[in-house]
Amino acid sequence: MALIELDQVSKTYGSGELTVYALRPVNLTIAAGDYCAIIGPSGSGKSTAMAIIGCLDRPTGGRYRLDGRLVNQMAADDLAEVRNRTIGFVFQQFYLLPQLTALENVMLPMVYANQPPDKRRSRAMQALEKVGLGNRLYNRPSQLSGGQQQRVAIARAIVNRPKLLLADEPTGALDSQTSQSIMAIFADLNREGMTLVMVTHDSDVAKMCNRTITFRDGQIVADSRAPASLAC
């Protein structure tokens, strides 16, 4: 079953002769349980596609169905709820709040989901255990290494058990060894059934996914599926 369905989705800035296409009308379907890499040079539209898929931005044209719901026309607050329930985000710069502990950072999405405090706590602890940081619950981001910070960010992304995990250059700020461990966590999550979409320009990272979608000039120019046996 398709989790993501982009139907002639485009993003333009300006109007008339000055119209700039960030994304030309694009058709893309990603099935539930898939593990996709989106690659392409900068300015290729991959980040725009990522923002639209993540409901962080609205397309100018076309229809976007996420998990069966038409989201391209939703109001800002409804999109916030979709992001909260259905999508987990992992960014290159981690974006952890410095004044909060690892545990509190991970609990944040559940705060916005209005979950009761004891449930937040136990689930945030589980998520941190899962990324191997069960012993770092009360450390602040400044007391953690880059890899550890990214693992806190992953725990935060999965704590609301989203169907889709979106990662924007998740290993861009990490060394290769740390990147390996982060990719291993992603592979685990995918094996448990989570759909992953990852923007990257690291071809080694892209090779670990089972589908690679290439953007150039606001369009999809290649969409290749790696043999299942090679995945991970």
Partner 1 sequence: MSINLLENATMAVKTLNANRLRSGLTMLGIIIGNASVIAMVAAGQAAQGYVTRQFESLGTNILFITPGDAQRGPGAGASRADTLTLADAEAIAAEVLAVSAVSPEKTERLRVTRGAAETQSNVIGTTPDYLTVRQITLAQGRFLNPVDSQANGPVAVLGSEVAKTLFGSQVPLNQSIRVKNLRFEVIGVVAPRGSSFGQNQDEAVYIPIGVMANQVTGQEVGKTSPSVQTIAVSARDETQASAAQYQMTNLLRLRHGLFQDDNDFTVQSQQDLLTTAASITDMLVLVLGFTAGISLLVGGIGIMNIMLVSVTERTQEIGLRKAIGAKGRDISAQFTIEAIVLAVIGGAIGTGLGIASIVVMTLTTPLIAGVSLGAIAISFSVSGAIGLVFGIVPARRAAQLDPIVALRS
**Residues binding partner 1 (CB under 8 A):** 51, 54, 56-57, 76-77, 80-81, 83-85, 89, 91, 93, 95, 97-100, 108-109, 111-114, 156, 160
What minimum distance in Å lies between the beta carbon of 225 and partner 1?
A: 29
What minimum distance in Å lies between the beta carbon of 115 and partner 1?
A: 10
Nearer to partner 1, 40 or 54 (CB): 54
Nearer to partner 1, 54 or 218 (CB): 54
What minimum distance in Å lies between the beta carbon of 151 and partner 1?
A: 16
Nearer to partner 1, 109 or 147 (CB): 109
Using CA atoms, how far apart are residues 38 and 178, in angstroms rounded to an integer?
Answer: 21
Q: What are phi and psi of 93, to 5 degrees?
A: -90, 15
Question: For the range 174-178, what are the long-range contacts, defined as Cβ-Cβ under 8 Å and sequence gap of 24 or more?
Answer: 174/146, 174/147, 174/150, 178/145, 178/146, 178/147, 178/150
Nearer to partner 1, 50 or 208 (CB): 50
Nearer to partner 1, 136 or 156 (CB): 156
What minimum distance in Å lies between the beta carbon of 160 and partner 1?
A: 8
What minimum distance in Å lies between the beta carbon of 120 and partner 1?
A: 10
Provide the b/e sequence for 192-219 (b: ≥16 CB within 10 Å).
eebbbbbbbbbeebbebbbbbbbbeebe
Strands (E), the chain: 2-13, 20-31, 35-39, 61-66, 69-70, 87-91, 164-168, 195-199, 211-216, 219-225
- CA angle 193–172–186, rounded 5-degree value: 15
What minimum distance in Å lies between the beta carbon of 12 and partner 1?
A: 15
Nearer to partner 1, 88 or 211 (CB): 88
